[in-house]
Structure 1
Amino acid sequence: MNETSLTALFILLVGLIILSAFFSSSETGMMSLNRYRLKHMANTGHKGAKRAQRLLNRTDQLIGVILIGNNFVNILASSIATVIAIRIWGDAGIAIATILLTVVILIFAEVTPKTLAALFPEKIAFPASHVLAPLLKLLYPLVWSVNLFTTGILRLIGISSAQANEDHLSREELRTVVNEAGALIPAKHKDMLVGILDLEKVTVTDIMVPRNDVVGIDLEDDTDDIIRHLRNSQHTRLPVFEGDINNIQGILHLRSVAKLLHEDDITKDMVRQLCQEPYFIPESTPLNTQLLNFQSVKRRFGMVVDEYGEVLGLATLEDILEEIVGEFTTDYSSTSPDIIPQDDGTYIIDGSTSVRTINKTLDWELSTDGPKTLNGLITERLENIPDTNVCLKVEGHRVEVLQIKDNVVKAAIVHPRHSSKRLRKRPAKEIE
């Protein structure tokens, strides 16, 4: 073999290694594409994304044409390298060619191009689709034959292509996608998206106003008191009951009674007639379901009841929306009268404050599976009504009961878990 022929073989060998690198990078680039980003780009008219999506719709054919091309190129390169090595080193050239070609292909045709494609899949896959699409048409009979045998082998071991997972995200996977979006999605938007995903985990009892805190109209009160209450109310809708909240008569919208407030002859019967039929919500209703229920019945306000029909509290559409968009204040931690920060790093918290409110305001992780309020957490831990000088630990937080009234914890000092400050020096009975 003359020098010209040897040079031509070297050039051909280099070209085959480049082709091998192309097929290797194409395979990794195509398989590394984000399918959801690819669909979005294809829907916006990106031509490269459309070609890549068409190829990925038949993954078996795409892999078939890439591997046929890659194996053909590698085998041909191995044969040529062997011929060159034998011409240069004789019989010893076979071993030399095997070692050298393995190293060259591994570095320049496998690891390097695949790493590059994994880092920048779109920059590799979209240009490669210009070559792979016509190559698939050219080699389709061969690809079809190979896939036919491959499918038959898979069926023999009990695997069908119909069992392949479709590109659908579960709720938890979608939450991970949202959380890992980084700066692509503003933090406030992330919170809203996650809030929507979490609606089904929260029931109306988690966000309702407890019955002890419900503000309403008691028809057994004096008429003057009722009128005064209507004029000074800060709420647009009020439950109307007679004697006890379980004996609810209806829901009064203050807009309906606004004109009558300028008169002094409002009667209880007039208030009763202006009431809308009460709407009741089972206590175990998830928020996502209740949101749709409010929409279907055209209501914004409902009374939460237990399995025996006892009123537990009330829930509103605004309460559910706040689970998605957050509190309707600029800085809830500074405006909430129920959670008051102290100079020593502790918090004075109203006993009726919900555990979810505490978690969201202070970024804590108190369990929401049991009691819904701080008072409930304390009494569950003690298993009785505490004294005002009791100190205890609740899920790692030091709690000092400040006030008891009507057998309910009205206020307590709560220390953050990381706080190293001591409790106030006062007689106290500590429960670990």
Structure 2
Amino acid sequence: MSDVPLSMLFGILIVLLLCSAFFSSSETGMMSLNRYRLRHLAKNKHKGAVRATKLLEKPDRLIGTILTGNNLVNFAAAALATIISQRLWPDNPDLAVFVNTILFTLVVLIFAEVTPKTLAAIRPERIAYPASRILLPVQTLLHPFVWFVGAIANGLLRLVRIDVHNNTPDNLSTEELRTIVREAGTMIPKRHQHMLISILDLEKMTVNDIMVPRNEVVGLDLDDDIAALTKRLRTTQHTRMPVYRGDINNVVGMLHTRNISRFLNAGELLKEHIEKICREPYFIPESTPLHTQLFNFQKNKRRIALVVDEYGDVQGICTLEDILEEIVGEFTTDVVAASSPDVHPQEDGSYVVDGAAYVRDVNKALKWNLPTDGPKTISGLIVEMMEHIPDSPACLRINQYRVEILQIKDNTVRAARVTIDPSFRYDE
């Protein structure tokens, strides 16, 4: 080695440092690849992605190959650097070793570790895909040694009851998928982000959250006279209506108003006609998750259903449009008016809210965060917070919302004024 010129030794040292930088960047680049994008590219026959996928199928072998190669070149570089330092300072070997340790550590950290790994972490695909061309043959070449080292390492892991073959799957939870959609930025338009998140939220909501409550259901009572029924059919804005006798629990069927139009035009409408063309009612439990009910509507070829509680009593109506509006928003040109018909802003910054308004609808319209894990309506929320039915106007506070009861009728809160307290803190 003493006969080899210093210039050649420096050249070999630089080559070894480049090899070390290659292995360091390859390790970070391969481990930093987006696995979902990698699978997508591999399915589209991207050669680099296919090679990377093949390497990542056995991560223990890949890491073993990279670390083996990296350590070999690092140890060789360290030995060569020691020889060079002793050639430079032959009269003081202790100084040569000290200077070599300081300088070689700095050079390796800067040029063979920190810089290539940082680059690979920022641009993993640009590093990993080209590197896979070299890593595949190197892995084959070093396979016997890597297998031997891996067998010992896996044996040590088994001693602490870790199964190296039971890899953690790359499955995403709903919350993780929701976070990915929110952080997609300009890659997914804002409106599409809202739709995707709304679809994910369907599993957290039930039919009871969006149904039209029983007291707001518009239907046809066959106990009414034919003139009243005719007037309701001529003036209704609904295309489908429940038909019942006396009480909505005594449902006869569901009527599509289009099917009755010929009798209305001919002036020959009879109750028998209404009952004859009614379709059998479709009942669903109030606790049915929305994503399940969406598929049930599709499977049963229905668009409207009567919601019943555990005792079989009708609680309201749910339609296919109600579920779709949870995904895409209200089907109307005046979104503000349609999304908050029961909320009336006041000049002083407060809001007068109808007691029958749904808490979820108010939250959505005003971007509030009133509690939604209890009662569904504003009236129910106020009564639950007060723990009694108020018999006169009163005030209360729900988190940062100051609520003033304006009107009480029939044991329910008909209207309330809500003011936001900007000084409120949740840790109070």
TM range (shorter): over 0.9
One-letter amino acid of the structure 2 residue matched with residue 367 of structure 1: P
Q: CA RMSD in A?
A: 1.8
Flag the 1:352–1:109 CA change in 2: closer, same or farther, 3 A: same
One-letter amino acid of the structure 2 residue matched with residue 111 of structure 1: V
1:279 to 276, 279, 282: 282
Equivalences for 1:254-269 in 2 at 5 Å? 254-269=257-272
One-letter amino acid of the structure 1 residue matched with residue 247 of structure 2: D
2:191 to 188, 192, 197: 188
Equivalences for 1:13-412 in 2 at 5 Å? 13-90=13-90, 91-92=93-94, 93-335=96-338, 336-387=340-391, 389-412=393-416
C-alpha separation in 1, matches of 2:264 and 2:88: 109
- Does the 8 Å contact 1:227/1:261 carry over to 2? yes
The answer for unaligned runs of 5 or more in structure 1 is: 421-432
Residue 164 of structure 1 aligns to a residue whose secondary structure is coil
C-alpha separation in 1, matches of 2:155 and 2:236: 76
- Does the 8 Å contact 1:211/1:313 carry over to 2? yes
Deviates more, 1:289-298 or 1:382-391: 382-391
C-alpha separation in 1, matches of 2:86 and 2:423: 77
Offset, 1:318: 0.8
1:429 — aligned with what? none
Flag the 1:347–1:24 CA change in 2: closer, same or farther, 3 A: same
Offset, 1:94: 2.1
Offset, 1:236: 0.6
- Does the 8 Å contact 1:377/1:394 carry over to 2? no
Deviates more, 1:351-360 or 1:339-348: 339-348
Give TM-score scaled by structure 1 length. Answer: 0.93
Give TM-score scaled by structure 2 length. Answer: 0.94
C-alpha separation in 2, matches of 1:2 and 1:299: 90
C-alpha separation in 2, matches of 1:301 and 1:54: 51
C-alpha deviations, 1:54-92, integer Å up to 9, x for none? 111111121111111100000000111111112222322
Residue 314 of structure 1 aligns to a residue whose secondary structure is strand
C-alpha separation in 1, matches of 2:423 and 2:246: 46
One-letter amino acid of the structure 1 residue matched with residue 346 of structure 2: Q
C-alpha deviations, 1:14-65, integer Å up to 9, x for none? 1111111111011001101111111122223322222111111111121111
Flag the 1:109–1:101 CA change in 2: closer, same or farther, 3 A: same
- Does the 8 Å contact 2:30/2:124 carry over to 1? yes
Q: Percent identity?
A: 57
Flag the 1:45–1:341 CA change in 2: closer, same or farther, 3 A: farther
Offset, 1:409: 2.1
The answer for unaligned runs of 5 or more in structure 2 is: none
- Does the 8 Å contact 2:214/2:315 carry over to 1? yes
C-alpha deviations, 1:96-147, integer Å up to 9, x for none? 2222211211121111111111111111111111211222222222222322
- Does the 8 Å contact 1:404/1:410 carry over to 2? yes
C-alpha separation in 2, matches of 1:288 and 1:73: 57
Offset, 1:3: 8.3
C-alpha separation in 2, matches of 1:2 and 1:62: 37
- Does the 8 Å contact 1:236/1:253 carry over to 2? yes
Residue 372 of structure 2 aligns to a residue whose secondary structure is coil
Flag the 1:419–1:242 CA change in 2: closer, same or farther, 3 A: farther
Deviates more, 1:11-20 or 1:404-413: 404-413
1:430 — aligned with what? none
Deviates more, 1:306-315 or 1:405-414: 405-414
- Does the 8 Å contact 2:393/2:408 carry over to 1? no
Offset, 1:408: 2.4
Residue 5 of structure 2 aligns to a residue whose secondary structure is helix
Offset, 1:349: 1.7
Offset, 1:396: 2.4
User: How many pairs does the alignment contain?
Assistant: 420
